[in-house]
Structure 1
């Protein structure tokens, strides 16, 4: 896909940034709109809590599989075609949610949405690095913020649409409209690809041989497992404590807005920092505080807990994407590393809502699930210590070769270079 390089036209910068925002905002409403409607979905389909967990588990699992397969996609399909096809799938899956009343069909339609999102999430980080040279952190922050902001809209507007229309299926299907709007915009804003050129073989097989790739997968997966569980069960948790669907959806929307703010702010704050670990630890501390509060003092200040946990999750999501891109100077290889991190990470994260549902069934409440995620945050805090920028080149370079990030020994000039370095 990068060999069919996207040709930027004069004046296309604003259109590109608008597309980043519009696409990002379409990637989460189909997930975040489900939690506030959990009671209505249960009554309308007969799905149990474990059954409803599949509405989050299956699309996230598909996101993971799609990301792992993305190196093949990068070379088989131009970026423009991949994005257009993915947005069409997202709109189709959303529309199908109104077509069939059965629980299994609802899960299948959600899987179609997940397949579309999987392609976009696999393609976009590398595309951003390619088209936003010198501003990768800022544009990645904008993309992450738009993604989280779309989640906030899904959580807040879906129960309101269901209340106004009296049809929860139609409320879920309404998100087909913005997906198809994004499709039309992408059709005009994404330049047509240049002719394909021969390129190097995919780096995915080599990257999978590096422990660093698996470490990034684990960090991304354990963190996003917390996000998946909160999206799936935070509204249900507070509905069990007497909240309405609309108010619990507002709580999830507040969490998503905090995610968006942190995803936009933290990449800008860290743009001049080579070592992003202190900021990652800050986001993990916020997550730990949020999960501990949900477990121990859920009724004390639930909106504060939602905002704190959301800021931690959103900031960590954006920083993880940036750290993956920081590891390699080549846009194509960095995109492959990001895709592998997301692929393995989403496979891990997908199981979290089901595990929380099983813990709820076993214990009678969600507290055990929140404590389990608190433990996951502790594990990631230890793993993050390994992400020192001076080790990027050694961690992922071929034997005997290493590139050095800006400011590291062995680097000359203003751009990353490849330098000979013995491997121990």
Structure 2
């Protein structure tokens, strides 16, 4: 019996995995938002200029771009749960040690270690949702997106008070968040030891026994061949137009009586290239531009307010408000997006909030600070919308894995220059006029890419067309 079949028989395994999902998501932003709250103190303590600080805020995108494509293969070899657990251990290690590295180079390297762990979690969270909650992709995406933004808000608001309370300056204020990552790793260590969580081992054991891995009847289509997992996708209700043809022609479908499944690498070689899909490219650009704005906001927003005359603790609260706005929208947007055939209007509405927020931040950073924080928080809710569209633009779990890895890795590559350029502009001009104007200008291509990505189509359809 597969992991999904067991979960269907008893609700507790899925509830335990939901807990692990929430705990993991809480750790996907503190490495960035905690640093943003104390950026001025870190720069002073390490002798870091604006350009190097910009490089520091670019490291998340670099790690996500480099490690994003590797995450599915690691999950195929070791299982998603084991990879997520290892990622959380890397987060805990990096966060605990980087404040005490003793120099800029060590701080950057240990930040990269923590962000590498976050990168694999970013890519594998949609895979875990699709695998364990195939009938509740929208709500579960909303749940872990809420936890992700909640973790960012808690860190932004709590880092400065914790640093003051511990009396050791910025170093213990940053290191304390390693405890949260350590706590999150524990349930994933348990989940990773469950039978069936190591896909290649299960496949080898099945081959030795002369059988194929369990595949429940009643309209369950295996996703394992291409994803490297043994997850299943229930097919209920009316199939989308063309779905029957897709299932009939999918390379995963073995002929009746086949004695062993094809390898995942063989399926990867036969599958059409994801780069042939215009929708995949639109999603990658949309993801990259929203990530640019989000990471600049998380890394620099407290400093923008502090330079305008706001106290450090209030600046942290303003950043927390920005993050907290994502909590209800992370829950509502995936559900609303799942009900719409075209998600373009949602993209346009979020971009409009961002344009107003950046304009206000430029013209009156102190007088309307709370309003700008709210509007920019709404605009940054593009992240859960992007994840939801990734799940909706592919018909199968295999398609979701490939599309998620492509959109996130290419998207994060696109987002790398943004934080670095903002840091450079800040250092050269000594103010925030040009950096904020840059952020506002980037909202326009983000809207265009989001409207294209929101059209009602799947990447598999585009493969067949070409």
Tell me the TM-score normalized by structure 2.
0.80
Deviation (angstroms), 1:187: 2.0
Aligned partner of 1:417 in structure 2 is none
Q: In terms of mean alpha carbon deviation, does 66-75 or 368-377 score higher?
A: 66-75
Match of residue 451, structure 2, among 381, 385, 392 = 385
Q: Out of 373, 386, 394, which is 2:439 matched to?
A: 373
Structure 1: unaligned runs, 5 residues or longer = 400-422
- Out of 386, 391, 402, the position equivalent to 1:336 is 402
Tell me what 1:266 maps to: 333
Question: Structure 1 pair 107/308, CA: closer, same or farther in 2 (3 Å)?
Answer: same
Partner Cα separation in structure 1 for residue 425 and residue 100 of structure 2: 32
SS at match of 1:299: coil
Corresponding residue number in structure 2 for 1:135? 136
Higher Cα radius of gyration: 2
Query: Among 323, 329, 340, which residue is 2:389 paired with?
Result: 323
- Given that residues 327 and 396 in structure 1 are in contact (C-alpha distance below 8 angstroms), is that contact kept between their aligned partners in structure 2? no
1: distance between equivalents of 2:33 and 2:338?
A: 30
Displacement after TM superposition at 1:342 (Å): 1.0
Tell me, in whole angstroms, the C-alpha distance in 1 between the residues paired with 2:107 and 2:98.
Answer: 6
Partner of 2:184: 182
| Aligned residue number for residue 36 of structure 1 | 37
Counterpart Cα distance in 2 of 1:31 and 1:369: 19
Q: Distance in 2 between matches of 1:247 and 1:325?
A: 37
Query: d(CA) in 1 for partners of 2:404 and 2:110?
Result: 27
Structure 2 contact 152–320 (Cα < 8 Å) conserved: yes
Picking from 165, 168, 171, the partner of 1:169 is: 171
Map 1:108-257 → 2, pairs under 5 A: 108-167=109-168, 168-189=170-191, 191-192=194-195, 193=197, 195-196=202-203, 198=261, 199-200=263-264, 201-202=267-268, 206-257=273-324
Residues 98 and 360 from structure 1, CA distance in 2 versus in 1: closer, same or farther, beyond 3 angstroms? closer
Q: Deviations over 1:56-111 (max 9, x none)?
A: 21132101211122332232221121111111111111111243221221111110
Task: Measure how far apart 1:309 and its partner are.
Answer: 0.8
In 1, Cα distance between the equivalents of 2:13 and 2:431? Answer: 51
Structure 2: gaps spanning 5 or more residues: 204-212, 214-260
The residue matched to 2:458 in structure 1 has which SS? helix
**DSSP-derived class of the 1:188 partner:** helix
Counterparts in 2 of 1:90 and 1:205: CA distance versus 1, 3 Å: farther
Q: How many residues align?
A: 397
Note closer, same or farther for the CA distance 1:24–1:117 as it changes in structure 2 (3 Å cut).
Answer: same
User: What do the CA deviations read for 1:91-150 (whole angstroms, capped 9, x no partner)?
Assistant: 111111243221221111110001101111121111111211121011111111111111
Is contact 1:216-1:324 (8 Å) kept?
A: yes
Moved more, 165-174 or 189-198: 189-198
TM-superposed CA distance for 1:395, in Å, is: 5.5
SS at match of 1:391: coil
Distance in structure 1 (CA, Å) of the matches to 2:366 and 2:418: 23
Q: 8 Å contact 2:68–2:405 — kept in the other structure?
A: yes
Q: 1:284 aligns with which of 337, 348, 351?
A: 351
| Paired residues of 1:219 and 1:345 also in contact (CA < 8 A) | yes
Residue 416 (structure 1) aligns with: none
Q: Distance in 2 between matches of 1:374 and 1:322?
A: 24
Provide Cα deviations, 1:327-372, integer angstroms capped at 9, x if missing partner: 1121122122012111111122232211111122233311211111
Of 305, 316, 323 in structure 1, the residue corresponding to residue 372 of structure 2 is 305
Alignment CA distance shift 1:278-1:286 (3 Å): same
Q: Cα offset for 1:388?
A: 4.9
- In structure 2, the CA distance between the partners of 1:98 and 1:371, relative to structure 1 (3 Å rule), is closer
Q: What TM-score comes out, normalization by structure 1 length?
A: 0.88
